[in-house]
Amino acid sequence: MRNMSLMLGRIGGIPIYVHWTFSLLIAYVVYIGVINQMGYTGVVWLLALTGAVFICVLLHELGHSMAARKYGIETEDISLLPIGGLARLEKMPRKPTQELVIAIMGPMVNVAIGLVLFVVFIVGFGTDFNLDLLEIFEAPFTGKKFVFLLLIMNISLVVFNMIPAFPMDGGRVFRALLSYKMDYVKATQIASLVGRALAIGMVAFGFFEREMTMMLIGTFVFFGANVENKVVSMEGALEGYKVKDLLRKRYTIFRTHETVRDALSMLYKGLERNFLIMDEHNSLEGIITSKLLLANKKTGLDTPLADIMNTDIAALDTNSELKEVYALMRQKQQPIVPIFEEGLLMGVIDYQTVSDFIQQKK
Ligand SMILES: [Zn+2]
């Protein structure tokens, strides 16, 4: 379990997670089947259709991942949520063509699936497209209807994902196209603004037409567009600065055998919030964050830091770009990054320092 998710397995080395709320979706689908009096076969059929849609969503995410891999960008993981899928790439490329290709390869997968289903339909069932096929809750629950509805779902996935607003793929495509003409921060601002305008339109339309789903999607798009703009403008503020410009050379080190109590007493002095942990041979073993310390405050003051420290940590070089550190901190949820130069520990960069720096630059 990670973030309340269950790992299904790996595809091409990428861990695939499914969120626990998925079980609610399954229960909901069964419930819908039952109240629509679909019968046993109907409910199983509906569940199979839901499963098939999510396989298409998974393939869509894999489309992004495989495109990213072509540019040397790996995918941390793919999560399936009842509202859709999410591929977490280790970073987003700043080159317009790369972003464009990565963003568009998801929907392209659904276009391809759609074409295959279309051919399957024609070959298997002829050209008899009639509106009865859209009656998802009405018998007969045939293979013909299954293929047809899955085809419609794939078309909807393409249309929905190509809405030109963050966090949809269409938003990324739009930004990539804009960034051929202008700088990335400006392109993001415009794409974000258009996205938010669209979102407000969706909410308004949903309100007047009493379309709850439309209102929800609009709200989701609005906040997504906002977040993207914030993150990119913050990265813009860090543009041109190196790690060494904000390097903190004085920092407290704890040893692996020292306890939560020791680290908490330092935390309460209020000067540092996150600490490096070394063994007796001065080799860096992990980090401990204020969050972790406070979480262990009640249960184990005498717990050695070695037992709770975060050992999956990233380090950078003094010559790295500051925005690279910032991206890494957010990506890995790692608020302190050790900085090395030719194998020697030179200091640390703290999240607080970076965000103060961004604040005073505004
Ligand atoms: Zn996508």
- The 10s digit of each residue's pLDDT in 54-63 is 999 999 999 9
Which residues, listed in sequence order, are joined to residue 321 by a DSSP beta bridge? 242
Euclidean distance between CA atoms 266 and 125, whole angstroms: 72
Question: Residue 257: what pLDDT?
Answer: 87
| 136 Cα: distance to centroid of ligand 1 (angstroms) | 25
- Does 230 share its domain with 265? no
The band of 4, judged by pLDDT with boundaries at 50, 70 and 90, is: confident
| 156 Cα: distance to centroid of ligand 1 (angstroms) | 13
- Does 206 share its domain with 308? no
| 276 Cα: distance to centroid of ligand 1 (angstroms) | 37
Q: Is residue 235 within 8 Å of residue 323, measured between CB atoms?
A: yes
CA dist 326 to 172, 173, 320, 323, Å? 21, 24, 11, 5
Question: Residue 120: what pLDDT?
Answer: 93
Examine the fold and report which residue of 133, 161, 189 is the final residue of a domain before the chain moves on: 161
Length of the chain: 362
- Does 141 share its domain with 203? no
Examine the fold and report which residue of 237, 259, 289 is the final residue of a domain before the chain moves on: 237
Euclidean distance between CA atoms 159 and 173, whole angstroms: 13
Mean pLDDT along residues 207-230: 83
| 194 Cα: distance to centroid of ligand 1 (angstroms) | 19
What CATH number corresponds to the domain at position 267? Answer: 3.10.580.10
Mean pLDDT along residues 262-277: 85
Mean pLDDT along residues 73-95: 85
Q: Which domain range does residue 352 map to?
A: 243-361
Look at the chain and report how many structural domains it folds into. Answer: 3
Euclidean distance between CA atoms 27 and 44, whole angstroms: 12
| 335 Cα: distance to centroid of ligand 1 (angstroms) | 28
- Does 292 share its domain with 346? yes
| 88 Cα: distance to centroid of ligand 1 (angstroms) | 11
Tell whether omega for the bond before 304 is within 30 degrees of 0, i.e. cis: no
- Does 15 share its domain with 154? yes
| 57 Cα: distance to centroid of ligand 1 (angstroms) | 8
Neighbours of 115 (CB within 10 A): 12
| 179 Cα: distance to centroid of ligand 1 (angstroms) | 20
pLDDT at residue 306 above 50?
Answer: yes
The band of 1, judged by pLDDT with boundaries at 50, 70 and 90, is: very low
Euclidean distance between CA atoms 21 and 29, whole angstroms: 13
| 51 Cα: distance to centroid of ligand 1 (angstroms) | 18
| 25 Cα: distance to centroid of ligand 1 (angstroms) | 21
- Does 152 share its domain with 44? yes
Looking at per-residue pLDDT, the higher value among 273 and 173 belongs to 173
- Does 313 share its domain with 334? yes
Predicted TM-score of the model (pTM): 0.72
- Does 8 share its domain with 147? yes
Q: Residue by residue, what is the 3-state secondary structure of 72-120?
A: CCCEEEEEEECCEEEEEECCCCCCHHHHHHHHHHHHHHHHHHHHHHHHH
Helix, coil or strand: residue 299:
coil
- Does 3 share its domain with 150? yes
Start-to-end CA span in the chain (Å):
40
Contacts of residues 115-118 at CB distance under 8 Å and 24 or more positions apart, as own/partner, are 117/147, 117/150, 117/151, 117/154, 118/151
Which residues neighbour 196 within 8 Å (Cβ) at sequence distance 6 or greater? 165, 221, 222, 225, 226
Euclidean distance between CA atoms 161 and 166, whole angstroms: 10
CA dist 137 to 34, 212, 213, Å? 10, 20, 19
Q: Is residue 20 within 8 Å of residue 4, measured between CB atoms?
A: yes
Mean pLDDT along residues 77-84: 84
Six-digit token string for 275 = 């600490």
Q: Is residue 33 within 8 Å of residue 43, measured between CB atoms?
A: yes
- Does 156 share its domain with 167? no
Euclidean distance between CA atoms 130 and 231, whole angstroms: 47
Helix, coil or strand: residue 300:
coil
| 154 Cα: distance to centroid of ligand 1 (angstroms) | 12
| 59 Cα: distance to centroid of ligand 1 (angstroms) | 10
Euclidean distance between CA atoms 166 and 176, whole angstroms: 12
| 295 Cα: distance to centroid of ligand 1 (angstroms) | 35
| 271 Cα: distance to centroid of ligand 1 (angstroms) | 42
Neighbours of 257 (CB within 10 A): 12
Question: Residue 86: what pLDDT?
Answer: 85
Question: Residue 70: what pLDDT?
Answer: 94
Task: Please name the amino acid found at residue 109.
Answer: V
Q: Is residue 109 within 8 Å of residue 59, measured between CB atoms?
A: yes
Examine the fold and report which residue of 195, 222, 237 is the final residue of a domain before the chain moves on: 237
Euclidean distance between CA atoms 140 and 122, whole angstroms: 19
Q: How far is CA 180 from the centre of its chain?
A: 25
Which residues, listed in sequence order, are joined to residue 85 by a DSSP beta bridge? 80
Q: What is the pLDDT of residues 154-192, one digit of tens each?
A: 999 999 899 888 778 999 999 999 999 988 888 888 988
The band of 3, judged by pLDDT with boundaries at 50, 70 and 90, is: low
- Does 132 share its domain with 69? yes
Looking at per-residue pLDDT, the higher value among 179 and 94 belongs to 179
- Does 93 share its domain with 142? yes
Which residues neighbour 186 within 8 Å (Cβ) at sequence distance 6 or greater? 178
pLDDT at residue 134 above 80?
Answer: no
Q: Give Rg (Cα) of the chain.
A: 25
